[in-house]
Structure 1
Amino acid sequence: MSTRRTRATRNKKDDELHDLVSKLQALLPSSSSSCNNTRVSASKVLEETCNYIKSLRRKGDKLGERLSELLDSMENNGVDVDILREFLQQ
C-alpha cells in the first residue's frame, strides 16, 4: 500500500506541476508557447519564461532611460516637471 500512496502522491505532484507549467506557458507571448494543444517540456517553458523576463527588463530599462532624457529636455526648456515626477514615482 505504501507504493500505491507514493505513486498517487507522485502523480498528484506531476499533475500539479504540469498544470502550473501550462499556466506559465499561457502567459508567454510567443506563438510557439501559446499553443495549448502541443505539449512542451517544462524546461523549455522555464527557459522561454526567463528569456521573456530578461527582455522585459531590457525594455523597462530603455524606457526608463528615455523617460529620463525626456524629463531632462523638458526641464532644459523651462517646463516645470516636478508634478510629473511625483506622479511617476507613485
Structure 2
Amino acid sequence: MSGQGSTSSDRITDEELNALIFKLQTLLPQLNHARHGRVSATKVLNEICNYIRRLRNEVDDLSQMLSQRLDSMDLSGFDAEIVRNLLQQ
C-alpha cells in the first residue's frame, strides 16, 4: 500500500481474511489435523511465525553443514566461488 492511505478497494474483507487464515492453517503440520475445527486467527498466525522460524533455522543449519563439507572438498577456486555465491543468494 502507498502512504496515501487506503481506499475501500484496498482493504481486505473479513471473508478474504478468513480464507487466508484457513489456507495458512492447512499448511501447518500441527494444525492441519484440525481442518474441520475452528482455530483462532491469532493461534494460526503465531504458529505460522514459529514454523517459519524453525524452517529458517533448519535452512541455516543445512547451509552451514554444506559450507563445511565444501570447505573440506578439493574444488578449484572458480568452482568454490560459484558454489559460495549460490549459497549466499
After TM superposition, the score normalised by the length of structure 1 is 0.69
Number of residues of Structure 1 aligned to a counterpart in Structure 2: 74
Larger radius of gyration: 1
CA distance in 2, matches of 1:83, 1:25: 42
Counterpart of 2:5 in structure 1 is none
CA distance in 1, matches of 2:16, 2:26: 15
Structure 2 portions without partners, runs of 5+: 1-11
Counterpart of 2:58 in structure 1 is 59
Counterpart of 1:14 in structure 2 is 14
Runs of 4+ in 1 over 6 A off after TM superposition: none
Structure 1 portions without partners, runs of 5+: 1-11
1:7-86 alignment runs, 5 A limit: 13-30=13-30, 33-34=31-32, 35-74=34-73, 78-80=74-76, 82-83=78-79, 86=82
Change (3 A) 1:52 1:70: same
Q: Deviations over 1:20-78 (max 9, x none)?
A: 10011111122xx112101100000000000000001110110111011000111xxx3
Return the structure number with greater relative CO, CA threshold 8 A, min gap 6.
2
Tell me the percent identity.
45
RMSD of aligned residue pairs (Cα, Å): 2.2
CA distance in 2, matches of 1:49, 1:25: 8
